[in-house]
Structure 1
Amino acid sequence: MSAWQQIGGTIAAEFSDLPDLVELTRVCIRLLIAALLGGILGFEREQKGKAAGIKTHMLVSLGSAIFVLIPLQAGVQPAELTRVIQGIVSGIGFLGAGTILKADTEDRVRGLTTAAGIWMTSAIGMTAGLGHEASAVLCTLLALLIFAAMPRLMRLIEKE
C-alpha cells in the first residue's frame, strides 16, 4: 500500500461518523431543525429589542443539539448521556446569567426572560438533537405563545 493510499484511508476513516446517506440525512435534519427553532425564538426576541437575538438563539440550540447527538452516535449509555445533559444545563445557566442585569433600584431586575428563553432554546436544541423533533416544535410553539400572550395578560391584570 502506497503512502498516498494510507493517507487517503486515514482521511476516509476520520470522516466515517456519517457512514451512509441515511445517517447523514438524520444528522442534518436534527441539526437544521434545532437551528431553525432556535432562530424562530431568537427572531421573536430580536423583534422585541432584546440583547440575545437570532444568532445567539440559533447557536445555543445548535450547540445543545450537537452536544447530545454526538454521544448518541458514539453509543454512550443513557446514564452517561444524562451527565452530558447536566453539563449543558449548567453551562447554559452561566450564559443566561450573563444576560441578567440588576437595575439601580432594589426591586428591578432585567434580562430574566431572556435568560429563561436561552435556557428554553437549549432544551429545544437538546430535544431535536435526541431525535424528538415533534416535541421540539411543540415546545417552540408553547414558548412563542408565552412570549406573545403573557405580556398582554399582565397588562390586563395590571389595569384591573
Structure 2
Amino acid sequence: MIRMLGAVCLAAGPVWLGMSAAAELAHRERALGALCAGLELMERELALRLTPLPQLMEELAHRTEEPARRLFSACRRALDGLERETFAHAWRRLTDQLPVSPEAKRALYPLGEVLGRYDGRGQQAAIAGARRELEGLRARAGEERRRLGKVYGALGVTAGAFLVILLL
C-alpha cells in the first residue's frame, strides 16, 4: 500500500510539470490577447474622442484584463511623475515588466515615443501597427498552444507512467 502511494505521488510530479507547461502556453496566448484588446480600445478612443492621455490610460486600466490592465494603470501613475521620467522611458520600463515574449515587447516599445506627442492619426497608425504585430504573435502562440500543449501533457503522463513502472 505504501509502495503504491509512493508510486502515485512520484507519477504526479511529471504529470504536473507537463500540465503546467501546457498552461503556460495558454497563459501567453491570453496575455497577448489582452494587450491586443487594450490597443484596439486605445485606437478606438483616439479615433472617436481623441481622449487625453491621462484619461485614456485611466479608462483603459478599468476596461482591460491583465496584463494590459497593469500596464495602463502603471502608465497612468507614470504620467503624474513626468518631471522625473519621460513617458517614453516609463513606457519602455513598464513594457519590460510584462510577462510576454521579447518580440511582443519590441512591438510595443515605439508606442512610448508616439502616445501623447503626435496628432490623433499618427497615434492611431502607430497603435494599429503594434496591434497587427501583436495579433500575429498571438496567432503563433495559439498555434503553438494547440500543437505543443497536447505534447507537453502527453509527455508528463508518459514520464509519470514510466516512473511508476520503473519503480514497481
- State TM-score, norm by structure 2: 0.34
Max Rg structure: 2
Structure with the bigger percentage of helix? 2
Higher relative contact order (CA 8 A, sep 6+): 2
- State TM-score, norm by structure 1: 0.35
